[in-house]
Amino acid sequence: MTGIVDYGAGNLRSVQKALEYLGERAVVSDSAEILDGCERLILPGVGAFGQGMSALNAKGLADYLLRRVADTPLLGICLGMQFLMRRSFEDGEHAGLGLCAGDVVRFTQGKVPAIGWNGVTGLRTPLFEGLPEGSEFYFVHSYYAPVGAYTIGRAEYGAEYSAAVWDGRNAYGVQFHPEKSGEAGLRLLRNFLHL
């Protein structure tokens, strides 16, 4: 079973429905006791970084995720990916989970937010198995993580940035919404379920 971490953000049900379409049992919860029974975790996210991290911390979920990721696959989606980074400069400076040693910054070129389909290249790790270079996914974001050692997929919007990240162990993150990205998104979710 897959646990979808509920810290009060939206978009939880669409992730759950995508997993159920793939035949996976998925539970939405903020309870450590319930999430402990899950073989893998997904951290979705929409909204502002600071508010989201405050909610994670208030519910004790930030510390919980840091404990679980030692031996449990974790997938951060959109803002959830940004939470994996060291810090964000959205509306001030806010600490993230620190699983990937990079910062989250605002786009300085192009229309913000960046909304729509974008090709992803430089695909690495089994998360992208069976997906060709340039596969398109659906993005909605104003902030991004620059390319770094943690980058396992790249996209461009004025400049190249991290479309996907990995901490080198169990934590993966994608800036796009796989649950809204058609067959490519479903393939990525299926790959995550088999990590």
Do 136 and 125 form a contact (C-beta atoms < 8 A)? no
38, 78, 90, 100: the active-site residue: 78
Is 38 catalytic? The answer is no
Is 179 catalytic? The answer is yes
Q: Compute, in degrees rounded to 10, the torsion defined by CA atoms 170, 176, 180, 185.
A: -50
136, 141, 179, 194: the active-site residue: 179
| Residues 6+ away with beta carbon under 8 Å from 96 | 49, 53, 82, 83, 84, 85, 86, 87, 88, 104
90, 100, 177, 194: the active-site residue: 177
Do 172 and 17 form a contact (C-beta atoms < 8 A)? no
Is 39 catalytic? The answer is no
Active site residues per annotation: 78, 177, 179
